[in-house]
Structure 1
Amino acid sequence: MSETGQTFGITLEQVENFEFRVRFDDTVVPDLIVDEGAPLGGDAGPNPSRLLAVAVANCLAASLLFALRKYKNTPGRMGAKARLTLERNEHGRLRIAHIGVDLQLAEKAEVLDYLDRVLAQFEDFCIVTQSVRQGIKVDVSVLDGEGKRLSVPGES
């Protein structure tokens, strides 16, 4: 995924209520069920906020692994824990205010070569975290049952 301008997509299909099936376009990755928590949904799968925490934590762990291997380290199994904090904005709407991630290495720091360099640069390899930190432009279209594009308030 290093090519500039590369695109990929997903498709959501409602199963029932707030439960959706996610299909990952152009890949053999199995479908994923996502859902809102009770009382809105049925907890059949992770909700979007949890998926964002997963994406950030996984990307950081993979980036750290990449950076360690770049300097010829052979790290053992690592782990990650993420904590996502929700807060209400000025309109009373829940928003993600903070994501904290702890990455756990298997080795003591002393046995890893060039750890100072690894730690100084691994976050820069993380596509998701760096994108979230900068903010991502999101365009939204709503189509009716006949495929007609509907106007979305605030759209230019």
Structure 2
Amino acid sequence: MSEEGRFKIHLEQQEGFQINVAFDWKRAADLLMDEPPPLGEQKGPNASRLLAAAAANCLSASLLYCVFKEEPPDNCLRAEAVCVMVRNEKKRLRVGRMEITLILAEAVTASPRFARCKDLFEDFCVVSASIRQGIPMRVTLRDEAGNVLHETE
């Protein structure tokens, strides 16, 4: 596979399990990561939480771009990411599956592009498509009343 793009982020251990992440974008703030007790002090998200957040963020951005292109309305989407942790045959903790739910305001569901985009947007999400190669993921679209509008496994 050819390399389409490349970026580098820098991580530096601070104390204990706290690691500072410096991104390659000057305007992006650094992020402190940490592990939960008993290893760390839970002063920042751990890698599993960032993975779930990355998948939900990528799916959200992909749907918004498909429906609205460059100008989505404010506050028209919320997301929830569930990461189910399991033990493998060697008793090592692993991400067993992810469940991402996007909660959509009427501005999204009423858009003429929504009917087409709900079947397309997942294929354009770099992160979730990559994760799915090794971790099962269910994606659900709901309106604000909780009605399921679309679901994939």
Deviation at 1:25, TM superposition (A): 2.6
Preserved CA contact (<8 Å) 1:22 1:34: yes
Deviation at 1:93, TM superposition (A): 0.1
1:45 aligns with 2:29: no
Aligned equivalent of 1:153:
none
Aligned equivalent of 1:86:
85
Structure with higher Rg: it is 1
Deviation at 1:115, TM superposition (A): 2.2
Aligned equivalent of 1:68:
67
Preserved CA contact (<8 Å) 1:75 1:106: no
> 113-122 or 58-67: which moved more?
113-122
Preserved CA contact (<8 Å) 1:80 1:104: yes
Query: In the TM superposition, what whole-angstrom CA distance separates every residue of 1:80-99 from its partner, at most 9, and x where no partner exists?
Result: 00000000000000000111
Deviation at 1:30, TM superposition (A): 1.3
* Aligned mates of 1:80, 1:29 — CA distance in 2: 21
* Aligned mates of 1:39, 1:18 — CA distance in 2: 10
* CA distance 1:14–1:77, change in 2 (3 Å): same
Aligned equivalent of 2:143:
none
Deviation at 1:5, TM superposition (A): 2.3
So what's the TM-score if we normalise by structure 2?
Answer: 0.78
So what's the TM-score if we normalise by structure 1?
Answer: 0.77
* Aligned mates of 2:62, 2:109 — CA distance in 1: 20
* CA distance 1:102–1:68, change in 2 (3 Å): same
Query: In the TM superposition, what whole-angstrom CA distance separates every residue of 1:21-72 from its partner, at most 9, and x where no partner exists?
Result: 11113533111100000111001100000000000000000001011114x9
Q: Which 4+ runs in 1 deviate beyond 3 A?
A: 72-76
Alignment of 1:1-156 (within 5 A): 5-70=4-69, 77-107=76-106, 111-135=110-134
Aligned residues: 132
**Gapped regions of structure 2 (runs ≥ 5):** 135-153
Amino acid at match of 1:116: A
Higher relative contact order (CA 8 A, sep 6+): 2
Higher strand share: 2
Amino acid at match of 2:18: E
* Aligned mates of 1:108, 1:21 — CA distance in 2: 38
Amino acid at match of 1:17: G
Deviation at 1:108, TM superposition (A): 7.0
Amino acid at match of 1:96: V
